[in-house]
Structure 1
Amino acid sequence: MRLWHVDLIAFLPKGQLLSQWRELNSIFAKEDKHILINYIYEYPKDDLFIYTEMVIAEMKKRGYQIRTFEKMNKYFEALGAVEAKTPFKQHHNREYLDICFYNLKEKYIRGQKDYDEDKYHQLCMFVNSNHV
C-alpha cells in the first residue's frame, strides 16, 4: 500500500493510478494502517481530501470511469470547506519523490505492460528538472 508522491500522480501508469483509487477507498472504508501510509493520519483530513481530488481529476482526464463515490463521501461527510494547499507537505518531499521515482523506474525496466516509453520519459524529465 502506498500513496504516490503528490507531484507524480500525472505520471503514474494506468495500473498504479487505478490502484491508487482502490487504496484510497480502502482507507475510506477501514482507515487502514500500513507502514507506508500511517503518516496520513498525522495530517488533517483536508490533506487526504485534496490528494483524493487530485487522483480523481487525473482519472477523469484520462477518461477512466469511477463507479461510486459512496465510501469517499461518507469518509469526508463532516469535512467543511477545504482550502487549496499541497497535501502531506512534510512527507511528500524530495526524498519521497525519489523513492517513488525509483519504484516506478523499476516497474518500467521490468516491462510493466501499461507503462509506455513516453510516460516514463515524461516522468524522468519531471524528476530531473529538480522539482520539490
Structure 2
Amino acid sequence: MRLWHQNLIDKLPRQQLLGQHRECCALRGKGWGKKHATVNYVFKYDPSRLVAYHLKVMSEMKERDYNPDQKWLDKSYRGKTVGYDNNFCTISPLEHFSEDIIYPEHDDQYLKECITNLKEKGVVCKYMDN
C-alpha cells in the first residue's frame, strides 16, 4: 500500500494509476483506520484529504479515458460494502485542491523516495530527473 506523491499522479503508467484508484477505494472503505506502515499518515487527518487525493487520481483517469465509478465523486461514498456515510468526510475535499500539497508528508524528500521506489520496481515514470 502506498499513495504516490501527488505530483506523480499524471505521470504514472496505467498500472500504477489504476492501482492508486484501488488503494484510495480500499482506504475510503473498510480500510479506513487499518494501520499500514506506508499509509498511516492519512489517518492523522480528516478523510477529506484522502477524498481530495482520490479526486485527483480520478481526474487523471478521466483524462486517459478511463471511467471510474461516479459514486466515488461523492465525498460520503465508501464503497459497495460500506455504502454512504455522511459522517465520514466532514470538510469539503475541494478545500484541499487550493493547497499546494494535500498531505504535508508529500514533500520533496517523499517525491524522491517515490521516484526511487518506482525505478526499483522497473517502472518507467515520465518525470524530470530528481
Task: Specify the TM-score bucket, using the shorter chain as the normaliser.
Answer: 0.7 to 0.9
CA contact (8 A) 2:21 2:57 kept: yes
Q: Is the 8 A contact 1:25 1:72 kept in 2?
A: no
- Residue from 26, 33, 53 that aligns with 2:55: 53
Choose 40-49 or 93-102, whichever is displaced more: 40-49
Q: Matches of 1:40 and 1:25 in 2, distance apart?
A: 13
In the TM superposition, what whole-angstrom CA distance separates every residue of 1:73-123 from its partner, at most 9, and x where no partner exists? 42473434341222102x101111011001112233xxx5xx5xxxx3x31
Gaps of 5+ in 2: 79-84
Q: Show the 5 A alignment for 1:14-25.
A: 14-25=14-25
- Per-residue deviation, 1:27: 0.8
Q: Which runs of 5+ in 1 are unaligned?
A: none
**What TM-score, normalized to structure 1?**
0.75
Q: Name whichever structure is richer in helix by fraction.
A: 1
Aligned structure 1 segments of 4 or more residues deviating by more than 6 angstroms: none
**Could you tell me the TM-score, scaled by structure 2's length?**
0.76
SS at match of 1:69: helix
Pairing partner for 2:42 from 40, 43, 46: 40
Matched residues, number: 115
Q: Could you tell me which residue of structure 2 aligns to residue 87 of structure 1?
A: 102
SS of equivalent residue, structure 1 residue 60 = helix
Native 8 Å contact 2:28 2:50 kept in 1: no
Q: Distance in 2 between matches of 1:17 and 1:72?
A: 20
Q: Map 1:1-132; keep pairs closer than 5 Å.
A: 1-30=1-30, 31=32, 32-67=34-69, 69=71, 73-75=76-78, 77-78=86-87, 79-81=90-92, 82-83=94-95, 84-85=98-99, 86-89=101-104, 91-108=105-122, 115=124, 120=125, 122-123=126-127, 125=128, 127-128=129-130
| Superposition CA RMSD, Å | 2.2
Greater relative contact order structure (CA < 8 Å, 6+ sep): 1
